[in-house]
Amino acid sequence: MRLTIFGSGYVGLVQGACMAEMGNHVVCYDIDKDKIDRLNNGEIPIYEPGLEAYVERNAEAGRLEFTTDVGKAVDHGLFQFIAVGTPPDEDGSADLKHVLAVARSIGENMEDYRIVVVKSTVPVGTADKVRAEIAKALSERGKSIEFDVVSNPEFLKEGDAISDFMKPDRIIVGTDNPRTTELLKSLYEPFNRNHDRVISMDVRSAELTKYAANAMLATKISFMNELANLAEKFGADIENVRIGIGSDPRIGYHFIYPGAGYGGSCFPKDVQALARSAGQAGYDAELLNAVESVNYRQKTRLYEKLHTHYGGKLDGKTIALWGLSFKPNTDDMREAPSRVLIEALLEAGAAVRAYDPEAMTEAARIYPDRDGLTLCESAYGALDGADALVIVTEWQEFRSPDFQAIKEQLADDVVVDGRNLYEPQVVEALGLKYYAIGRGRGTNRPKTNYGRRKTDK
């Protein structure tokens, strides 16, 4: 089939590459000429495991093209996917200007029937606005051309997006036209062979399903972080608690890992947007607001632990950071806990030496020539001259470090573990001062990796 995808960022590029991998002819459009030039030269603007090989293979085969020509893009595909960003507006609500600009471009250029598929994460009712924008553009041209608007939200985890797309848990299709539903089912048939993963529903329910999924996962994370903070007050160990409640199949182990708060391009933005949409509808979403508040507070916990250890005297201290991306297997630092920690440390007069396996280029872009911040080439290089170490992101290479080398390099022997990667007894037995999240001084600490996370959203 012939597909056009508007937006060549994270969602659009993964969608385009995976659809082309199944033999479809895909044209990816973006207004950013530099990005399109880079893609046409084989450069991938984001880090996502496996994506580069998919793009290269399908571009060489002629199944995946990149363009800034909007007329060519609209003319190409029966399916017109909108996968542009919906950044938060000043009040936290989703900014739809890019989505509606694409809708208008489609209306200004289409000559035949088109299925407009909204892939972007958008508030309930956006499909109606997209439909109105296209109809308005057609009317201004004096044209009467049939089209349908579909909600088809994405459910991709950064760091595992290729697998998520190729082997989806579910494919949500929101339409008001049974014919369009069948066409979408045909498009997704190659990803749907073992059993039917397509869940069809009305458009507004599909739009809400995406927000509801992310809000539910964010709620689990914030709830577990709230329990972790309580565990510290009560002298309990949250890791024991996690295993105890996770063994209940009604709860399970997914997304009940305490840490430094969630980040990235989805959870923070989507929880905010859903709460603001609720307010616009005249409903006070108290739980959503609490989830957001708890997460904001949790991002300050690592700094608070350092501040408490040093009695508020961080001026002149050098702190090593392991991990800058908001989660492993991505270079994405949007809303990352590391950014909150870096800003707080620099404001307090501390110096920061930071390392991340993939996010160093992104960090250099965010913090160009920032006084007090040194971006290091290796994890142990970041320890040179450092007083304390903070683990912010649970990359695999940080899971089994040389604790003796850490002790020898750190002036103050302080380790703050923001992801509960280590057993306190092991670290403390080596003479290191160890601070984790929610690990009180209970005597029966877990000695098993049962229920350990494979990855983080």
391 vs 127, 260, 413, CA distance in Å?
42, 10, 14
DSSP string, 406-427: HHHH-SS-EEEETT--S-HHHH
Question: In terms of DSSP bridges, do strands 433-435 and 198-201 run parallel, antiparallel, or are they unpaired?
Answer: unpaired
DSSP letter at 4 equals: E
Residues belonging to the active site: 266
3-state class of 203 per DSSP? Answer: helix
Structure-token pair, residue 297: 């507070």
Position 244, amino acid: G
DSSP string, 301-353: HHHHHHHHHTTT--TT-EEEEE--SSSTT----TT-HHHHHHHHHHHTT-EEE
Pick from 285, 131, 280: nearest CA to 219: 285
Buried-exposed string 52-79: b where 16+ CB fall within 10 A, e elsewhere: eebbeebbeeebbbbbbebeebbbbbeb
Measure the CA–CA gap between 67 and 33, rounded to whole angstroms.
8
Bridge partner residues of 3 (DSSP): 26, 79
Position 310, amino acid: Y
Q: Are 37 and 60 in contact (CB under 8 A)?
A: no
**CB within 8 Å of 139: residues ≥ 6 apart:** none
Please list the alpha-helical segments (H only) found in 260-313: 267-280, 286-298, 301-309
Pick from 384, 415, 385, 387: nearest CA to 401: 415
Rounded-to-5 percentages of helix, strand, coil across the chain: 45, 15, 40
Measure the CA–CA gap between 259 and 294, rounded to whole angstroms.
12
Position 318, amino acid: T
Q: Are 248 and 67 in contact (CB under 8 A)?
A: no
